[in-house]
């Protein structure tokens, strides 16, 4: 008899607590949450279907209560024990947070499918808020921006991602910065060094056409692929294993095609035509950057977006030397290969040499690319 009463009371108490935390979460009622904790409630209490106070508050995106629970020692590991269908998405949300914070590529399920789930998105944002406010803000910006795209633009950016070497967030970022410069009347042209098939160029062209902007778009490329890596590079891009050639030779001897990413100028011109990029705004600079920039850089007065995507140390270095000084205040430098040690080295050396302190912003879910706003 005693046992039955005890079980009944325990069952009743558990149900009441579950409802309460859920109500608190729903209302984002921080005061009620705090009162409950002050009254001795267990922040890691096991509720129905494997839920916990933190899971409910994450589920409802109750930022204040999430923070309050975390401050009082709520355990994040319970995310792994959720049996609830929605909890599955919360758990995925937590994984995504880790990925967003470490920039590791997503394993298994695509991040995109998580972000489609409203509550999982809230979970991500809330948790990012608890860990890294700036990253939360940037992730939100990217997500909101993505949501704001009309269907035609979304489809075009998806298409460009498919023919690019970039991820969708990276392609979105090119478009977002291009549109921002156009909208804010930032003077100067768009430039990409390392265009491959021309996907990112097409994105810039699309933005110009959409907003009837008469900026020029400059395409710098050998149109015969990436050259050989040098002593400051960790690998030969696109070729697995250690570098096989002698890197300790004069630079001119490294300016030969590695055979990787070979797209001829006529192929790229044809792509532009097929993808609807108006030809009058495109300016082609064919040849090794080291040979074209000393003469062609002078033909560009100002730059609003400079996109560097040449993979190697020397390819990045020479572009910075000739083109960075032309970026106007309020314009952007995008570094597609920031994850590659050679490219990062060239960037850091240049920043140090010229005392550049503009914060480097990693593109959320871009898997490496970064950018900064020139001040």
Ligand X SMILES: C[S@@+](CC[C@H](N)C(=O)[O-])C[C@H]1O[C@@H](n2cnc3c(N)ncnc32)[C@H](O)[C@@H]1O
Q: Exposure of 371 by Cβ count < 10 A (0-12 exposed, 13-18 middle, 19+ buried)?
A: buried
- Taking the complex as a whole, how short is the minimal distance between the CB of residue 339 and ligand X, in angstroms? 12
Q: Three-state SS across 283-313? A: EEEECCHHHHHHHHHHHCCCEEEEEECCCCH
- Taking the complex as a whole, how short is the minimal distance between the CB of residue 119 and ligand X, in angstroms? 33
CA gap 68, 53 in Å, rounded: 11
* Contact between residue 65 and residue 30 where contact means Cβ atoms under 8 Å apart: yes
- Taking the complex as a whole, how short is the minimal distance between the CB of residue 290 and ligand X, in angstroms? 6
Choice between 95 and 233, CB closer to ligand X? 233
- Taking the complex as a whole, how short is the minimal distance between the CB of residue 66 and ligand X, in angstroms? 37
| Span from 37-45, 282-290, 327-335, 339-347 in contact with ligand X (CB under 6 A) | 282-290
Choice between 121 and 307, CB closer to ligand X? 307
Residue from 225, 342, 364, 369 in contact with ligand X (CB under 6 A): 225
Q: Which parts of 295-324 interact with ligand X (CB under 6 A)?
A: 309-312, 315
CA gap 104, 98 in Å, rounded: 8
- Taking the complex as a whole, how short is the minimal distance between the CB of residue 230 and ligand X, in angstroms? 10
| Span from 19-27, 128-136, 149-157, 191-199 in contact with ligand X (CB under 6 A) | 191-199
Verify binding: residue 233, ligand X, rule CB under 6 A.
Answer: no
CA gap 335, 350 in Å, rounded: 13
Verify binding: residue 222, ligand X, rule CB under 6 A.
Answer: yes
Residue from 226, 272, 333, 344 in contact with ligand X (CB under 6 A): 226
- Taking the complex as a whole, how short is the minimal distance between the CB of residue 112 and ligand X, in angstroms? 19
- Taking the complex as a whole, how short is the minimal distance between the CB of residue 268 and ligand X, in angstroms? 9
- Taking the complex as a whole, how short is the minimal distance between the CB of residue 312 and ligand X, in angstroms? 6
Choice between 74 and 202, CB closer to ligand X? 202
Question: Helix and strand tally (H, E) in the chain?
Answer: 16, 7
C-alpha 113: how far from chain center? 16
Verify binding: residue 194, ligand X, rule CB under 6 A.
Answer: yes
C-alpha 358: how far from chain center? 18
CA gap 304, 181 in Å, rounded: 7
Residue from 189, 221, 233, 296 in contact with ligand X (CB under 6 A): 221
Strand pairing category for 189-193 and 361-362: unpaired
Give me the 137-176 binding string for ligand X, x by CB under 6 A, dash otherwise: ---------------------------xxx----------
CA gap 116, 112 in Å, rounded: 6
CA gap 335, 101 in Å, rounded: 19
Please give the backbone phi and psi of residue 361, each rounded to the nearest 5 degrees, phi first.
-110, 120
The size of the interface with ligand X (CB under 6 A), counted in residues, is 23
Verify binding: residue 289, ligand X, rule CB under 6 A.
Answer: yes
- Taking the complex as a whole, how short is the minimal distance between the CB of residue 314 and ligand X, in angstroms? 6
CA gap 155, 222 in Å, rounded: 29
Task: Collapse the DSSP code of 67 into the 3-class scheme (helix H, G, I; strand E, B; otherwise coil) and give the result.
Answer: helix
CA-wise closest residue to 201 among 282, 299, 261: 282
Residue from 136, 196, 308, 347 in contact with ligand X (CB under 6 A): 196
Instruction: Give the binding site for ligand X (CB under 6 A).
Output: 164-166, 194-197, 199-200, 221-222, 225-227, 261, 288-290, 309-312, 315
């Amino acid at each position: 008899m005693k046992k039955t009463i005890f079980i009944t009371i325990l069952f009743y108490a558990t149900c009441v607590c579950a409802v309460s935390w859920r109500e608190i979460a729903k209302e984002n009622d921080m005061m009620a949450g705090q009162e409950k904790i002050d009254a001795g409630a267990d922040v890691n209490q096991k509720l129905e279907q494997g839920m916990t106070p933190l899971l409910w508050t994450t589920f409802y995106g109750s930022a204040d209560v999430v923070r309050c629970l975390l401050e009082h020692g709520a355990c994040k590991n319970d995310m792994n024990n959720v049996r609830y269908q929605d909890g599955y998405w919360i758990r995925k949300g937590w994984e995504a947070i880790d990925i967003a914070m470490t920039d590791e590529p997503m394993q298994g399920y695509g991040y995109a499918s998580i972000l489609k789930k409203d509550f999982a998105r809230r979970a991500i944002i809330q948790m990012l808020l608890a860990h890294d406010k700036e990253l939360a803000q940037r992730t939100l910006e990217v997500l909101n921006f993505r949501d704001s795209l009309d269907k035609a633009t979304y489809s075009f950016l998806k298409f460009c991602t498919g023919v690019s070497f970039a991820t969708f967030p990276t392609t979105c970022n090119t478009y977002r910065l291009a549109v921002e410069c156009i909208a804010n009347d930032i003077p100067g042209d768009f430039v990409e060094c390392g265009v491959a098939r021309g996907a990112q160029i097409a994105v810039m062209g699309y933005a110009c056409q959409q907003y009837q902007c008469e900026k020029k778009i400059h395409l710098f490329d050998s149109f015969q692929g990436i050259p050989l890596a040098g002593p400051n590079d960790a690998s030969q891009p696109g070729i697995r294993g250690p570098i096989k050639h002698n890197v300790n030779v004069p630079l001119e001897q490294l300016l030969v095609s590695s055979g990787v990413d070979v797209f001829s100028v006529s192929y790229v011109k044809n792509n532009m035509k097929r993808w609807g990029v108006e030809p009058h705004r495109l300016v082609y600079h064919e040849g090794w950057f080291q040979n074209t920039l000393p003469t062609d850089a002078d033909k560009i007065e100002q730059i609003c977006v400079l996109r560097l995507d040449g993979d190697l140390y020397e390819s990045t270095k020479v572009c910075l030397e000739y083109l960075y000084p032309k970026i106007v205040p309020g314009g952007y430098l995008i570094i597609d290969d920031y994850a590659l040690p050679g490219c990062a080295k060239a960037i850091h050396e240049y920043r140090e040499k010229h005392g550049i302190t503009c914060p480097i912003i990693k593109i959320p879910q871009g898997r490496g690319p970064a950018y900064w706003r020139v001040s």
